[in-house]
């Protein structure tokens, strides 16, 4: 089962996709795993044993609290998905348990891929001015992949602001199995383009 649309998917198309999707299509023991660091996921032998591959991009957005707050706002409004070939309904609330579709144009048809927000994490501390905001979404039945992806923004002890995309995935359909090298390239390309969108939003929003 997977979901196609010959035109740009409407809200009704996306709702129908979500209604048919059902539950997570990956093991419960990995639910929320992307809340961990990249090094922790690399050290998790279970992930690689079960066939999952990691994808990670960490990009410097600038520095200062204003940049961090603009980055948080961008994530909450799905600015990182504002591409002409990949989008999420920007009205989708960033809250645990919310289901949504990532709509991606692949050649002629659009593919609708259902997900659910598995967690939302926000930390804030005055010590060293370190703070972060991020959320992870897990794939549902009907998604071409099985796994989880986290988008986050962080201000570190040096006052630098970082945007990060971290995911683990494996094929969940014959189409993605056959074309998995292409899928991995698209994941890396999306992370690159997503970072550019975040940077553009942060720069255009500065007073």
Question: Model pTM?
Answer: 0.92
How many domains, the chain?
A: 1
164 assigned to some structural domain: yes
pLDDT in tens, 4-19: 888 899 999 999 999 9
Tell me, yes or no, whether 110 lies in a domain.
no
Reading the block at residue 146, the tokens are: 């099985």
Residue 103's DSSP bridge partners are: 87, 112
- Radius of gyration of the chain from Cα atoms? 17
Backbone angles phi, psi at 77, to 5 degrees: -105, 15
Residues of the chain above pLDDT 70, percent = 95
User: For position 13, what pLDDT does the model report?
Assistant: 95
Per the domain annotation, does 22 fall within a domain? no
Does residue 128 have a pLDDT over 90?
no
Can you tell me the mean pLDDT for 78-97? 95
pLDDT of residue 204: 84
Quick one: what percent of the chain has pLDDT higher than 90?
78
What is the chain's mean pLDDT, rounded? Answer: 92
At residue 34, φ and ψ (nearest 5 deg) are: -70, -5
Assess if residue 104 is contained within a domain.
no
- Looking at 77-152, list the stretches that DSSP marks H as alpha helix, in order from N- to C-terminal side: none
What range does the domain containing 75 cover? Answer: 27-83+118-205
Among 109-113, 178-182, 184-188, name the one with the lowest average pLDDT: 178-182
Query: Does residue 107 belong to any structural domain of this protein?
Result: no
Q: Quote the pLDDT of residue 41.
A: 96
Maximum average pLDDT range among 59-63, 123-127, 174-178 = 59-63
The CATH number that applies at residue 164 is 3.30.530
* Domain-embedded: residue 176: yes
Give yes or no for residue 180 having a pLDDT over 90: no
Is pLDDT above 60 for 102? yes
Contact 115, 98 (CB under 8 A): no
Rounded Cα–Cα distance for residues 35 and 124 (Å)? 16
């Amino acid at each position: 089962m997977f979901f196609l649309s010959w035109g740009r998917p409407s809200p009704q198309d996306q709702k129908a996709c979500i209604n048919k999707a059902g539950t997570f299509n990956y093991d419960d023991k990995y639910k929320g795993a992307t809340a961990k660091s990249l090094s922790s996921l690399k050290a998790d032998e279970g992930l690689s044993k079960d066939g999952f591959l990691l994808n990670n991009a960490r990009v410097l957005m600038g520095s200062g609290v204003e940049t961090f707050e603009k980055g948080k706002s961008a994530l909450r409004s799905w600015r990182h998905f504002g591409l002409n070939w990949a989008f999420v309904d920007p009205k989708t609330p960033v809250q645990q348990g919310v289901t949504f579709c990532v709509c991606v144009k692949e050649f002629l048809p659009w593919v609708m891929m259902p997900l659910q927000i598995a967690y939302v994490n926000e930390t804030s501390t005055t010590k060293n001015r370190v703070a972060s905001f991020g959320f992870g979404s897990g794939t549902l039945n009907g998604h071409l992949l099985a796994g989880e992806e986290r988008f986050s923004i962080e201000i570190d002890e040096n006052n630098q602001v970082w945007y990060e995309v971290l995911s683990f995935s494996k094929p969940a359909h014959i189409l993605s199995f056959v074309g998995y090298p292409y899928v991995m390239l698209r994941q890396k390309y999306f992370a690159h383009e997503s970072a550019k969108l975040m940077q553009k939003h942060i720069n255009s929003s500065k007073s």
